[in-house]
Amino acid sequence: MPLIKAMNKYQKIVNEVLDEVGKELTGSNDPIETQYIRDVEGGHYLLFSNGWNGVKRVYGCFLHIDLANDGKVWLQYDGTDLIVGQMLLDKGVQKSELVLAFHHPDRRIDTGMAVA
């Protein structure tokens, strides 16, 4: 598959996964806002928590996916209870193009996915 076509396909898939995860983890009465950060030009896609849980501040990234210039999808961080890597595969990302970047580079070979 040509690189531009793959990037467009993967961009669509990543956006679908972000939307699904955001909806799954955000309740209608939840005081903590889920913020979607989509840097299309740079290829960065994040979900952030932002708000207050009583007197405790809740702020931080709980999902980070990058689209690299070589057509690979980098799952940088998955702080959800969901299996986002499997969601990406189920939607059509090829194992050879999915990097589980939260694993040390020396251990990625054990995942059966792309190593870099």
Domain map of the chain by residue range?
A: 3-111
Percent over 70 (pLDDT), the chain = 97
**d(C-alpha 40, C-alpha 79), whole Å:** 22
The third-level CATH classification (topology) of the domain covering 3-111 is TATA-Binding Protein (3.30.310)
> Do 36 and 50 form a contact (C-beta atoms < 8 A)?
no
Interatomic CA distance for residues 53 and 17, integer angstroms: 26
Residue 105 reports pLDDT greater than 90: yes
Distance CA 77, CA 101 (A): 7
Beta strand ranges found along 13-105 (DSSP E): 32-39, 44-53, 56-67, 73-78, 98-100
Q: Which residue carries 């979607």 as its tokens?
A: 36
**Residue 26 and residue 34 in contact, taking contact as beta carbons nearer than 8 Å:** yes
Cβ–Cβ < 8 Å for 88, 17: yes
26 pLDDT above the threshold of 90? no
Q: What is the pLDDT of residue 31?
A: 87
What predicted TM-score, i.e. pTM, was given to this entire model?
Answer: 0.91
- pLDDT, tens digit, for every residue of 41-96? 999 999 999 999 999 999 999 999 999 989 999 999 999 999 999 999 999 999 99
